[in-house]
Amino acid sequence: MSIKRFFQAFIVFLFPFTAFAQQTVTTATELKRLSDITKMPAYIDGSFIRQISSYDRTGGNDDGFSGKYSYIRKEKDGLVLLDVKGRGVIERIWTPTPTDDIIEFYFDGNAKPGLSIKFSDLFSGKVAPFLKPLVEAHLVGGYYSYVPIPYEKGCKIVFKGEKIMFHQIQYRELDDNYKVQTFHSRFNTNEHKILQDVIGLWNNNDRQVQNFYAGRLNKTSVQKTVHPGETVLLADLRQGGRIQGFEFKSSKIFEGLSRQLDLKITWDNESAPAVYAPAADFFGYAFGKKSMESLLLGATASKAYCYFPMPFDKSAKIELVYRKTNETQQPLSFTFDMWHAAGKRNPAREGKFYALWKNNEPASGEPYVFLNGNGRGHYVGTLLQSQATTYNYFTEFFEGDDSTVIDGVQNIHGTGSEDYFNGGWYAQPGGWVEKLGGPVSGCLDYSIPWSRTGGYRIYVTDKLPFYKNIYHSMEHGPVNNNRPVNNTSVAMYYADKAVQVNTAPVNENTKVFLPPTYTFYPAFLKHLTYNGNYIFRNGRAAINDKQASLTINIDEVPAGKYKLYMNKIMSQTKNLEVRIADNADIQQWRSVHLNAGNTAEEIYLGEVEIRKNEIPQMPLNLLFRSKDNTPEVEFDRIMLQKI
């Protein structure tokens, strides 16, 4: 799945000179960064993020299946996954394929490992200091650890098993301005307390800005009613300071298919807003419904919230824009709460918060670009909603890899879209399809019939610094960006100025798309259940008896009338009849026209009606009969096409 825009990393990277006192990096200081969000705007000068992963170097889709690209060399003691020199910190480890084999970390050139642990126990939460929720096992299919592992002179990681598959190891290189104390797993009292504080914060699902600050905060609150076509001013601060967080109550005002309410934030009278996005997309709604409740951003049943700290120099303005649509719209009433403090931004050490909203369909052969431009800052978050525009490849667009180029250096190449969001195994039970989320990452939505999904990822300690420019993208498809998709994204970063300029959302590209066709596949999940003699091969099903039946779970399909089709791959018979039972009727038997042989064709089965006023939802039932004993009507999908 390698991206075509691969930059050879032979470029010598030079950190820009910034004078500052030598900083000490320890396990304790890095753990504190996982909870001290006041440091989110701060630049991390003298550092550079890199990642080693199992991605297919040929541009194919073998990102860990064979294990060919899952190590850098073999030694007599095992497979070497990473071997770096100098100061640094491992900030994130991810895999969907852990094993009970031992993994060893050799620090600072030592012959003995400083950490030896089962690979699976990096994520199980059973072995300190690798404790939940800083680690997670099989949350939406992925296993990950954010426990920091600093090293002074280098780190070598050796996997002791015969085969390792998918993985990503993200680490931060540090220059001479840092003094690093190497990781040790036996925490002292202070380190243990810091770890428990982080665990307590990440486990606290009561999202409040007060969770991040000691003492009393300065709060302003306004009640507003906004009418279609209006823009309401929510905050207008006219001297430098910092916004600590804000909330909208209630969160229901952002629900729905139109996404017509836009959040607009402007710093220091800049010519373009720092944030200009449909509020639903900014707060992590998925296709018009509440979904995300991350540590710093999201929506609960009662409120939409943002706790990213936002320092500014001279002024700050927050507005809510209510765009008119062609539909009937009502005035919307809400309460806006904001917490802010004195202490304007330090331009030498801090960036301003920006969020770039985009909606488009990337061209065939080209990746989707979250952010691309010049400036100084660091990348801190991605929200993505993806909707297929064709309906015969389910969610294969999510096979694409993420790619990051910073200051001309290809420093990160991932292994798959759900992997980027710390997930794994989309379209498989127990994996990405579970639509779960954690403090910093998760799945926003997943539906095979709708051919859509989405995810979120917040970068805390692992934020990506850039000094001159950044290019951050995602492929769409197994190879060569070959699966059509429409993407809606929010790319969040801190910078001295906007890397890319926001443009105003318009109705044409904010309305949630309702696909005209809903597709069900024999190979994935359990939307289709079978009675009678079917055979299964290569992800396909075949009617293999004179009589058979098929049940379609239509819980995810909207109400309406549809034409029903079967995509036939091959058939041994021309003789087939079908009888359909839907919400409205048990229909009569009707003949199905199909050709015998290996010619693929879409076979029309009839019309159906889906009603949504029944609980539980009645499925569609199809009865088949043939005069041939073994008709072998093989198909790879069933489609409902809206009339």
> 504-515, pLDDT tens digit by residue?
999 999 999 999
Structure tokens at 437: 């989320």
Residue type, 234: L
Return the half-sphere exposure (C-beta side, CA atoms, 13 A cut-off) of residue 598. Answer: 0
The rounded distance, in Å, linking the Cα atoms of 135 and 124 is 7
Of the two residues 18 and 643, the one the predictor is more confident about is 643
Three-state helix/strand/coil letters over 223-271: EEEECCCCEEEEEEECCCEEEEEEEEECHHHHCCCCCCEEEEEEECCCC
213's CB contacts (< 8 A; 6+ apart) are: 38, 244
Report the C-alpha dihedral over residues 508, 514, 517, 523, rounded to 10 degrees.
120
Share of the chain above pLDDT 90, in %: 90
Structure tokens at 359: 């909606």
What's the confidence (pLDDT) of residue 193? 98
Structure tokens at 195: 């770890």
Share of the chain above pLDDT 70, in %: 96
Mean pLDDT of the chain: 94
Distances (CA, A) of 175 to 13, 86, 402, 460: 11, 8, 26, 20
Tokens 């492929």, residue?
475
Domains of the chain: 23-203 (2.60.120.1390), 221-350 (2.60.120.1390), 518-642 (2.60.120.260)
Return the half-sphere exposure (C-beta side, CA atoms, 13 A cut-off) of residue 222. Answer: 14
What is the average per-residue pLDDT within 189-200? 98
Residue 614 — very low, low, confident or very high, per pLDDT cuts 50/70/90? low
Instruction: Write the DSSP symbol of residue 349.
Output: T
| pLDDT tens digits along 349-404 | 999 999 999 999 999 999 999 999 999 999 999 999 999 999 999 999 999 999 99
Q: Give whichever of 194-198, 327-331, 627-631 has the largest mean pLDDT.
A: 194-198
Most distant CA pair in the chain, distance: 86
Q: Is the pLDDT at 12 greater than 60, yes or no? A: no
What is the average per-residue pLDDT within 412-429? 94
